[in-house]
Amino acid sequence: MKRGLAVLFMLIHWAIPESVAQESLLDSLAASLKMATSNSDKIRLLNALAYELCYVNADSAIRLSEASLQLAVKENEPKGKADALNNLGIANHIRGNFPVALNQYSSSLLLRREQNDSAGVAGLLNNMASIYAVQGNYPEALENYQQSLELKLKLGNEKGAANSLNNIGNIYYYQKNYDLSLQYYERALEIENKMGNTMGQGRSLGNVGLVYLETGKLNEALQNYLRAYQKMDSLKLECQKMYPANGLGQTYYQLGKLEAAHKFLDEAYTEAVACNDPVILSSSLETLGKISVANKQYTLAERRLKESYDVAEANDLKVQVKDASKSLYEFYKSRGNIDQALSFLEINKSVTDNLLNEDLTEQLTRMEVNYQFKDEKDSLQFAREKELLSYNSEIKRRELVQMSTFFGLGLAFVLLFVIYRFYRVKQKANEQLSVKNEIISRTLQEKEMVLKEIHHRVKNNLQIVSSLLNIQSKMVKDEAAKQAIRDSQSRVHSMSLVHQNLYSSGEVGEVSANEYLEQLILSVCRSFDPEGNRQLNLQLEPVALPPDMAMNLGLISNEIITNAFKHAFPAPDKKGSAISVSLVAAAEHISLSISDNGVGLENPQQSFGMQLIEALVRSIKGTLSVDSTNGTCFTIKLSQPYGQTVYS
């Protein structure tokens, strides 16, 4: 099940008052502001009024906060500046202006740390973490959430601690650690139940429902989402029901109950528009678009899916961009719009690879740094122990010389002690060496796994290129152009097979050339001769080659055999026509021979294929000979250091 299918409750650190009490409070604050005479009172009242307006009217909150900030700067009031910047951050956060909100939160955080305002610092850390989480920066988000949780626990803030537990659970959810995320959600729910906090209960229940939805436990997900929806509905607050409503819609969609799914998703969409929540807006629109596809409302489906993508892209929501672009690719593919389908496929592949490659690069860097640190630390410790051992041995030797003059028996005792001591030190050194070897072995295994994953992804990327070339060839009318595309597709397939062999074999630094060439040759033969009219003779000795060497031999073989099928046998069903391939590992060289009994070559130097073959042979420092006496025979020889014979 894809990530981002439903939306987590990101618990932002601001209160949402009930509407009647809110109107009364706003009127009271506005009246007090009119009567205020000192700038200090005006700053305090402007900030209080802006805070209450953040979720009701973000534009008004921003204007009031900017006015308060100007006064606070003029009067040099650090607390007034911190409160104004915090309100600006909240308002822009709600509006989805995440980069602006982060800058304002950071400025407020510096001021509140200078004032030792632990409660304010905890709230700002929580809000900044929620933006990092939406942007996909999970390490930064987790660090901020954990700092916020630590401060709240020190302050005895149970409600805030429950919010932080929920948010930390969200990060583990994004990292697909569902067991750990469920533990944090349930701990938060336990605190909310103890406090009788209805809103907190609704949020925690919604997050528990999302874990069950992601792990395919749809009935459990539905039960928790329904309870969350009922809790939020009982509060009669704006901008809160859209979270469980969206979750219910996603769950009903998975259960195939499209009418119920449409009802709740439409409710989530309407509230997300009113509250300007880009995450809920993008998520609900994407699934509404897929429901429209199922109902054959294709125009409506296209509009909803494109709107979902536009919202996600405008707000830098990477996960939602990935999901929406995949849905648009599938939509346009099903409608036969190849250009649009390919466009969104490229976007989806780019976003997906960026997310995965960032994780992969970070993992490689972390392993390398840890290994180097451990290696340097162990080397220093070993040198110190060696120096200490040398010093102790010298002391013992001098004592032995002095005591040997007077006590023969003492000499024997000292010798025995030295031998025992040496044995123990050597035994300890062997143990340390064994530990270091184990660490090195484990690190190498981890690196090998990462390299295999890289080869796997390169192979997948080459397959996508091959698929794109295949689609393009179907759209080209000119036969010469179509054949050129097919030739390129065949060459890409030759390179893809090398990476497939690398990640599927036990060795990541070499390729079994005989197995690789056999797969490649059989693939080319099936492509040109599906009926099996040509006889194929393969004699391939086991030889291991470096990946680049194997890839070049594959490209050479692909060119020669493809040329044979195209030109060597003019009659498609001629009896007795054959192609022979041999790979021989001699004492000083490796020889690859490819021959056919066809009509032979005419002016071989003038063809592009022959020029490509010669260039590839030069790149591997080999020699090429061509014999057209009886058919055509190509022989490529490599010096032995490029490869080694494999013995089974």
pLDDT digits (tens, 9 = 90+) for 187-196: 999 999 999 9
Mean pLDDT along residues 200-229: 92
SS (H, E, C) 416-471: HHHHHHHHHHHHHHHHHHHHHHHHHHHHHHHHHHHHHHHHHHHHHHHHHHHHHHHH
The per-residue pLDDT for 475 is 67
pLDDT band at residue 519 under the 50/70/90 scheme:
confident
Pairwise pLDDT comparison (271 vs 463), residue with the higher score? 271
- Cα–Cα distances in Å, from 100 out to 82, 85, 90? 15, 11, 10
Strand partners, 596: 579, 632
CA dihedral 189, 194, 199, 200 (to 10 degrees): -30
Give the H/E segment covering residue 201.
Answer: helix 198-214
Pairwise pLDDT comparison (398 vs 425), residue with the higher score? 425
Burial degree of 116 (CB within 10 A; 0-12, 13-18, 19+): exposed
Give the β-pairing of 511-512 and 632-639: unpaired
pLDDT digits (tens, 9 = 90+) for 468-494: 666 766 666 676 676 667 667 666 766
The per-residue pLDDT for 604 is 57
Mean pLDDT along residues 359-381: 41
> Which amino acid makes up residue 507?
E
Residue 414 CA to residue 403 CA, distance in Å, equals 9
The per-residue pLDDT for 331 is 92
Q: For the chain, how big is the Rg over CA atoms in Å?
A: 35
The per-residue pLDDT for 358 is 56
Mean pLDDT along residues 73-87: 91
pLDDT digits (tens, 9 = 90+) for 225-281: 999 999 999 988 888 899 999 999 999 999 999 999 999 999 999 999 998 899 999
> Which amino acid makes up residue 407?
F
Residue 361 CA to residue 340 CA, distance in Å, equals 31
Whether 645 has a pLDDT exceeding 60, the answer reads: no
> Which amino acid makes up residue 604?
P
pLDDT digits (tens, 9 = 90+) for 374-390: 443 344 444 444 444 45
Give the residue from 193, 278, 258 showing the smallest Cα distance to 10: 278
Query: In the predicted model, what is the mean pLDDT of the chain?
Result: 79
Look up residue 641 and give its two tokens: 């250091």
pLDDT digits (tens, 9 = 90+) for 596-615: 888 877 765 567 778 888 88
Query: Phi, psi at residue 591, to the nearest 5°?
Result: -120, 130
Residue 450 CA to residue 364 CA, distance in Å, equals 8
The per-residue pLDDT for 46 is 85
Listed in sequence order, the DSSP H helices in 39-97 are 39-53, 58-75, 78-95
> Which amino acid makes up residue 539?
Q
Give the largest CA-CA distance in the chain. Answer: 109
Pairwise pLDDT comparison (135 vs 232), residue with the higher score? 232
The per-residue pLDDT for 96 is 85
Provide the whole-model pTM.
Answer: 0.46
Report whether 136 contacts 319 (CB < 8 A).
Answer: yes
pLDDT band at residue 391 under the 50/70/90 scheme:
very low
The per-residue pLDDT for 419 is 86
Whether 1 has a pLDDT exceeding 70, the answer reads: no
Whether 202 has a pLDDT exceeding 60, the answer reads: yes
| Residues 6+ away with beta carbon under 8 Å from 66 | 84, 88
